[in-house]
């Protein structure tokens, strides 16, 4: 009984405190979700503002890019540094360059590897070479080895070698054998040079995706522009492709019947 009396007196004494406490709880219960919602909406707004800014900048950058120039550059890049194995282009270019310098061209050794477009793993040899020579090269970069023999006089072969540096598709001399035949009549004068050259031509598949739409467009810097200018210095020869029709003709086709 005395305990109940104590409790009621205690409640009476703390009445004001209880009221304030209750008030705060009610405030929290009523205002909490409303404030939470507002906070959430403000966060969404900030993200939207940020995204919008990024996209607007990206759009401005894209609008500023010269469509014609980029297309030209892509075309040239594809000629010089192709996306697919440049077997035909390489053979054609070397053959035509040799012919231009009046050199004999032959002894072709080609190691084209897989014919499918599957992603091939770089060989252990090329991996080792890449890590040793060029640490910043992309993993998609692949090479194609091509051996050939050119015969002619010393000066022409020298010019041919010099022009290899600026010949599309991009290649570098990997191995070289030389046989300089001297004249039996004039001492020290070379009459014919036989050069067995092995070159490595490079190709790299283009990126598969553009990435997120929010990803900014990377523009070319000064150094890139200089490299781009050098790219246009590469000489490319038109690849002659066979045009002879292959396979059976459809004798019942309308065009054929009309022509008959």
Q: Which of residues 133-172 bind another protein (CB under 8 A)?
A: 133-134, 136-138, 141, 154, 158, 161-162, 164-165, 170-172
Tell me the per-residue interface mask from 57 to 76 with another protein, x by CB under 8 A, - otherwise. -xx--xx-x-x--xx-xx--
Contact predicate 166/80, CB 8 Å? no
Using the rule CB under 8 A, give the single segment among 40-48, 93-101, 114-122, 238-246 that binds another protein: 40-48
CA distance 83 to 207: 10
Residues 206-225 that bind another protein (CB under 8 A): 206-207, 210-211, 213, 217-220, 223-224
What does the block give as tokens for 133?
Answer: 């020579």
The alpha helices in the chain, defined as continuous H runs, are 2-13, 15-64, 67-80, 87-100, 124-133, 154-164, 222-231, 254-259
Residue from 176, 240, 253, 256 binding another protein (CB under 8 A): 176
Residue from 8, 109, 175, 253 binding another protein (CB under 8 A): 175
Instruction: Compare residues 134 and 253 and give the one whose CB is closer to another protein.
Output: 134
Instruction: Compare residues 22 and 99 and give the one whose CB is closer to another protein.
Output: 22
Residue from 8, 9, 27, 109 binding another protein (CB under 8 A): 27
Residues 98-137 that bind another protein (CB under 8 A): 132-134, 136-137
Kindly state whether residue 8 participates in binding another protein, applying the rule CB under 8 A: no
Which of 225, 220, 221, 218 lies closest to 57, judged by CA? 218
CB half-sphere exposure, 37, CA atoms < 13 A = 5
Residue from 38, 99, 110, 256 binding another protein (CB under 8 A): 38
Count residues binding another protein (CB under 8 A). Answer: 82
Contact predicate 152/102, CB 8 Å? yes
Shortest approach of another protein to residue 174 CB, angstroms? 6
Residue from 9, 109, 177, 253 binding another protein (CB under 8 A): 177
CA distance 86 to 144: 8
Conformation bin of residue 113: beta by default, left when phi > 0, alpha when psi is -120 to 50: left
Contact predicate 107/196, CB 8 Å? yes
Residues 181-210 that bind another protein (CB under 8 A): 181-183, 188-190, 196, 198, 202, 204, 206-207, 210
Contact predicate 90/143, CB 8 Å? no
Tell me the per-residue interface mask from 224 to 253 with another protein, x by CB under 8 A, - otherwise. x--xx-xx----------------------
Which of 229, 209, 217, 208 lies closest to 77, judged by CA? 229
């Amino acid at each position: 009984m005395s305990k109940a009396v104590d409790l009621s007196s205690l409640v009476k004494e703390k009445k004001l405190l209880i009221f304030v406490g209750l008030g705060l709880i009610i405030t929290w219960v009523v205002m909490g979700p409303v404030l939470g919602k507002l906070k959430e909406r403000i966060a969404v707004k900030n993200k939207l503002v940020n995204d919008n800014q990024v996209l607007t900048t990206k759009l401005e950058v894209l609008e500023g890019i010269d469509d014609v120039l980029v297309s030209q550059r892509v075309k040239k890049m594809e000629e010089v540094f192709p996306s697919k194995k440049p077997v035909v282009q390489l053979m054609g270019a070397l053959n035509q360059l040799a012919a231009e310098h009046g050199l004999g061209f032959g002894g072709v050794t080609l190691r084209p590897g897989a014919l499918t477009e599957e992603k091939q793993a770089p060989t252990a040899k090329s991996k080792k070479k890449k890590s040793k020579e060029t640490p910043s090269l992309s993993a998609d970069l692949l090479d194609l080895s091509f051996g050939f023999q050119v015969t002619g006089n010393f000066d022409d072969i020298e010019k041919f070698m010099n022009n290899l540096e600026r010949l599309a598709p991009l290649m570098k001399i990997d191995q070289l054998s030389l046989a300089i035949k001297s004249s039996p009549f004039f001492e020290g004068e070379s009459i014919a040079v036989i050069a067995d050259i092995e070159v490595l031509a490079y190709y790299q598949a283009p990126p598969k995706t553009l990435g997120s739409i929010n990803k900014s467009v990377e523009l070319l810097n000064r150094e890139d522009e200089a490299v781009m200018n050098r790219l246009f210095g590469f000489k490319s020869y038109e690849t002659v492709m066979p045009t002879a029709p292959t396979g059976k003709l459809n004798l019942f086709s309308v065009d054929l019947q009309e022509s008959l």
